[in-house]
Amino acid sequence: MDKKAKDILFKTYWSSKGWKDEFFTETSNFEYAKTKGLMFDKLTISHDDCIKRIFEIANNIKIENVAKAFLSSLSSRRLDLRSGIASYFVAQRFAPHQYVPVVSGHSYTNGKITHTSYTCGICRDLKYGFVGHKLYENTDLNVLNFERIKWGGIRLGDLVYTFFDLEQFAKEHITEPTKDDAEIFKGILEAINCCKEDDYPSVLRDKLKDVPNLKSSKDERSIILEILACIEVLKPANYDRPTTHKNDWTYVEFWRGEDGYHKEAVEKYFGKYLK
């Protein structure tokens, strides 16, 4: 990954104080980062074309590659390779379909509806719900790439992110996970096993701090848990559970310590590396 291009991308959105109030990239810098594959022109794409492209790309990605990418990211800190396995998993759950509009919300003024929002009903009814707009117009792909590289991807429930993530993943040469990667993942599984029955995801996130050689921030550990829940390594036994309502969880929200990890999913994706 080109360091200068990465720096240009990051400085567009982030400062020492966090997110910038305004996003701006000088034209010459943008063109440089674009030639290095880290920044992109804005995208306009319909829901139906997005679904079509997701299927086309996912059908040419091997499950072994997304598993290798996730594992190899643990020691290399190539965070942009992590969410590919979640996007691949989601793509496998989709059925080919066209946009089916359903009401997703209303805006009110003085008690009267002034605007009605719509989403795709088929996307919405996918497990955990997916955001599927009829048209994505002038979508900023660069902020998606920034989030992929900095945290491992945070918009796992968005249609365009799934498309973009898979498209970028398909360009990568994925290396074999190392022994260190396997040991880190075993440490993650051990942390899951050490949870008490009523532990919430936030407790597990804190436990990951103690996994040897897993260098990570709090936000990065959150994304690891979301990805593992998306691919059902962390699989809630039921969804009729209280939540704190003070979190940004999506896929892992209803997991508790008593659920442990799903051995079949671990074996499916990572078994050959854990022998």
pLDDT reported for residue 250 = 84
250: phi > 0 → left, psi -120 to 50 → alpha, else beta; which?
alpha
pLDDT reported for residue 1 = 87
For the stretch 106-146, pLDDT in tens is 888 888 889 898 889 998 888 777 888 899 999 999 999 99
Q: How many CB atoms lie within 10 A of CB 209?
A: 12
pLDDT reported for residue 74 = 94
> Got the DSSP string for 53-92?
HHHHHHTTS-HHHHHHHHHHHHHH--GGGTTHHHHHHHHH
Of the candidates 177, 178, 180, 154, the one whose C-alpha atom is nearest the C-alpha of residue 165 is 154
What is the percent of the chain with per-residue pLDDT over 90, rounded to a whole number? Answer: 73
pLDDT reported for residue 127 = 73
3-class secondary structure, 162: helix
For the stretch 57-68, pLDDT in tens is 999 999 999 999
| DSSP run (H or E) holding 115 | strand 112-120
| DSSP run (H or E) holding 137 | strand 135-139
pLDDT in tens, the chain (275 residues): 899 999 999 999 999 899 999 999 999 999 999 999 999 999 999 999 999 999 999 999 999 999 999 999 999 999 999 999 999 998 988 888 999 999 888 888 888 889 898 889 998 888 777 888 899 999 999 999 999 999 988 888 789 999 999 999 999 999 999 999 999 999 999 999 999 999 999 999 999 999 999 999 999 999 999 999 999 999 999 888 887 777 778 889 999 999 999 999 999 999 999 88
